[in-house]
Amino acid sequence: MGSAGTRCDTPDTLPTTTDDRARRPHEVGLSPPIGRQQASYRRSTTPLSVEPVINDLLSPWRTNRLPRAIGLLATDLVLPWIPFALTIALVATSLGLAVTYPLATPFIGLLFVVAAAFGKLERSRVHAHTGADIGDPGHPRTTGSWWHRIRTLLASKSRWKEVAYFLTTPIWATALGVFTFCLWGASIFLVTLPVVAGRFPSGSAELGLFNVGPGLSAFAAGALGLVCLVVVAPWCTLGFAAARREVAAALLGPGQDEALRRRVRSLETSRSAAVDAAEKERRRIERDLHDGAQQRLVALAMDLGRAKERFETDPDGARQIIESAHDEAKAALSELRDLVRGIHPAILADRGLDAALSAVVARCPVPISLHVAVADRPPAAVESAAYFVVTEALMNAVRHADAGRVRIDIARHGDRLVLEVHDDGRGGADPSRGTGLRGLEERVAALGGWMQVLSPAGGPTSVLVELPCGS
């Protein structure tokens, strides 16, 4: 029976034995039959899909990056020339009065003031068009005598970089803008050639070394123009805007030393917040254990001792004491379970934010709409912080704000986890008054995140949190 169901790969005319069947062709160094090779090849190969490539090429059209980049390059044709004119006038005046240094001093100071003021405006403009968050360069403080202040100003690299930015940017930024719009205009012109090529006085369009007349050449030029219009021009525009952003960040943003100092201060703040949050959490756990489960366990031990003494003399009384101790044990288990859930719920570690918060929402007495869009789970610390932010904000909304409805939205955008808890309660929540919101702020700050509470008197209340979740 065993041999009857065994597939044979040898011709039917040859006898097969157990040894022959055991030695398949590939096991003795022979190739499988040609038909099997072809079938295996067909199974292992898949047709090349061009859809992802097309989607990547057309991606600039699906976001607002392209119109914002066009707006940046368009405004570069005019706006940078205003600070350029003021800056170059002050530079020329300062150099002209350099021989009489005291007379040049006010103009040098005014030069740096003007550059700093325009630097703020320029950082805002670049951020509006590209989304780049360029920080303040961190100018050194000028204190002491006027001579010391002037020396400090002259030795400030960040101030000179701002001056250099406004002296050089208009030239190359205008060139980028002109080239960009010439590229768009040329692409549109090529697209229209199949229609207008024969309407020129000469009967054809003269494009440098080429003459494009009606017919096949016009359609070829139109196809080239369509490719430039749909693919080349958008990507060149985004590339020019990215170069524009990088130059602005290099000359108007903080230098490497200043960025490192700010990073160190941020890490010191987050470390201090982490230590404070851990200490408060430890004290809370100790308090909950001492005031809750520990007291119940002490009472349980005392009840069991009384029951043990009454077993022989008063069995019915001992039975009642044991029943009371049983109820006390169940209450202690319930409090311990709640305490463990408050430290880190098991469902959060096993199934993530959506499942953990769904369990919380199911136990809440008010209607709650929960929306979680987190494709990739963030790190455990970030996930835990988000969970406790939501649960604490939800508790405040139900217990203190008398909210009738709560909305919870959580989404992950790149390496940031963003969440919002919104309720229609009476508002007035203030983290500075020592509520649980202050602890949430410390927990969020410990991870390098950001939290804001919008709660005007009369409501509504929104708790906005952003947590970094990159590796």
pLDDT at 466 over 80: yes
Q: Is residue 2 part of a domain?
A: no
**Helix 146-154 with 101-130: angle, nearest 10 deg:** 50
pLDDT at 138 over 60: yes
Whether 33 and 105 map to the same domain: the answer is: no
Residue at a domain's end among 316, 342, 368? 342
Does 470 or 112 have the greater pLDDT score? Answer: 112
Q: Is residue 463 part of a domain?
A: yes
Q: What is the dihedral of CA 376, 381, 382, 385, to 10 degrees?
A: 140
Please answer whether residues 385 and 419 qualify as being in contact, where contact means their C-beta atoms are separated by less than 8 angstroms. no
Whether 93 and 189 map to the same domain: the answer is: yes
Tally Cβ neighbours within 10 Å of residue 274: 17
Does 444 or 435 have the greater pLDDT score? Answer: 444
Q: What is the pLDDT of residue 16?
A: 41
Whether 231 and 309 map to the same domain: the answer is: no
Whether 124 and 240 map to the same domain: the answer is: yes
Whether 374 and 393 map to the same domain: the answer is: yes
Edge-to-edge strand ranges of the sheet holding 406-413:
368-373, 406-413, 416-423, 461-468, 450-454
Residue at a domain's end among 207, 224, 252? 252
DSSP 285-320: HHHHIIIIIHHHHHHHHHHHHHHHHHTTT-HHHHHH
Q: For the segment 61-116, what is each residue's pLDDT rounded down to a tens digit?
A: 888 889 999 999 999 999 999 999 999 998 888 888 877 767 777 888 788 888 88
What percent of the chain shows pLDDT beyond 70? 70
Q: Is residue 328 part of a domain?
A: yes
Instruction: For residues 328 and 318, give the distance between their C-alpha atoms in angstroms, rounded to a whole number.
Output: 15
pLDDT at 323 over 60: yes
Closest CA to 111 of 163, 154, 148: 163
Range with top average pLDDT, 198-202, 244-248, 466-470: 244-248
| Domain extent for 312 | 271-342
Mean local confidence (pLDDT), 208-226: 78
Q: What is the pLDDT of residue 299?
A: 75
Mean local confidence (pLDDT), 422-439: 75
Cα angle 152, 154, 155 (rounded to 5 degrees) comes to 65
Mean local confidence (pLDDT), 7-27: 40
Whether 361 and 427 map to the same domain: the answer is: yes
List of residues 6+ apart from 398 with CB closer than 8 A: 364, 365, 366, 406
Whether 219 and 282 map to the same domain: the answer is: no
Q: What is the pLDDT of residue 36?
A: 40
Q: For the segment 44-61, what is each residue's pLDDT rounded down to a tens digit?
A: 444 456 778 788 888 888
Whether 322 and 382 map to the same domain: the answer is: no
DSSP state of 63: S
Does 267 or 325 have the greater pLDDT score? Answer: 325
Q: Of 153-162, 265-274, 417-426, give the lowest mean pLDDT range.
A: 265-274
What percent of the chain shows pLDDT beyond 90? 15
Mean local confidence (pLDDT), 270-295: 66
Q: Give me the chain's average pLDDT, please.
A: 76
Two tokens at 38? 């072809």
Q: Of 29-38, 90-99, 399-408, 462-471, give the lowest mean pLDDT range.
A: 29-38
Mean local confidence (pLDDT), 217-235: 88
Q: What is the pLDDT of residue 452?
A: 85
| Phi and psi at residue 340, to the nearest 5° | -65, -40
Q: Is residue 260 part of a domain?
A: no
- The span from the first CA to the last CA of the chain, in angstroms, equals 58
Residue 417: strand pairing partners:
412, 467
Whether 294 and 357 map to the same domain: the answer is: no
Q: Is residue 59 part of a domain?
A: no
Query: What is the number of structural domains in the chain?
Result: 4
Instruction: For residues 353 and 372, give the distance between their C-alpha atoms in angstroms, rounded to a whole number.
Output: 8
pLDDT band at residue 19 under the 50/70/90 scheme = very low
Domain at 301, CATH number? 1.20.5
Q: Is residue 439 part of a domain?
A: yes
Whether 331 and 362 map to the same domain: the answer is: no
Please answer whether residues 343 and 289 qualify as being in contact, where contact means their C-beta atoms are separated by less than 8 angstroms. no
Q: For the segment 338-367, what is each residue's pLDDT rounded down to a tens digit?
A: 666 555 566 777 777 888 888 888 888 888
Domain at 453, CATH number? 3.30.565.10
Q: What is the pLDDT of residue 53?
A: 79
Parallel, antiparallel or unpaired: strands 416-423 and 450-454: unpaired
Instruction: For residues 344 and 80, give the distance between their C-alpha atoms in angstroms, rounded to a whole number.
Output: 54
Two tokens at 200? 């020129």
List of residues 6+ apart from 43 with CB closer than 8 A: none
Mean local confidence (pLDDT), 150-162: 74
Query: Coil, strand, or helix at residue 467?
Result: strand
Q: Of 174-178, 333-337, 365-369, give the lowest mean pLDDT range.
A: 333-337
Q: Can you give the pTM of this predicted structure?
A: 0.54
Give, for 433, the enclosing helix (H) or strand (E).
Answer: none
Please answer whether residues 94 and 104 qualify as being in contact, where contact means their C-beta atoms are separated by less than 8 angstroms. yes
Q: What is the pLDDT of residue 108?
A: 80
Whether 380 and 327 map to the same domain: the answer is: no
Q: What is the pLDDT of residue 435?
A: 56
List of residues 6+ apart from 452 with CB closer than 8 A: 463, 464
Instruction: For residues 295 and 109, give the distance between their C-alpha atoms in angstroms, rounded to a whole number.
Output: 71
Residue at a domain's end among 183, 218, 252? 252
Mean local confidence (pLDDT), 234-258: 86
Q: Is residue 203 part of a domain?
A: yes
Q: What is the dihedral of CA 59, 60, 63, 68, to 10 degrees?
A: 170
Tally Cβ neighbours within 10 Å of residue 406: 25
Does 3 or 189 have the greater pLDDT score? Answer: 189
Whether 165 and 97 map to the same domain: the answer is: yes
Range with top average pLDDT, 135-139, 140-144, 303-307: 303-307
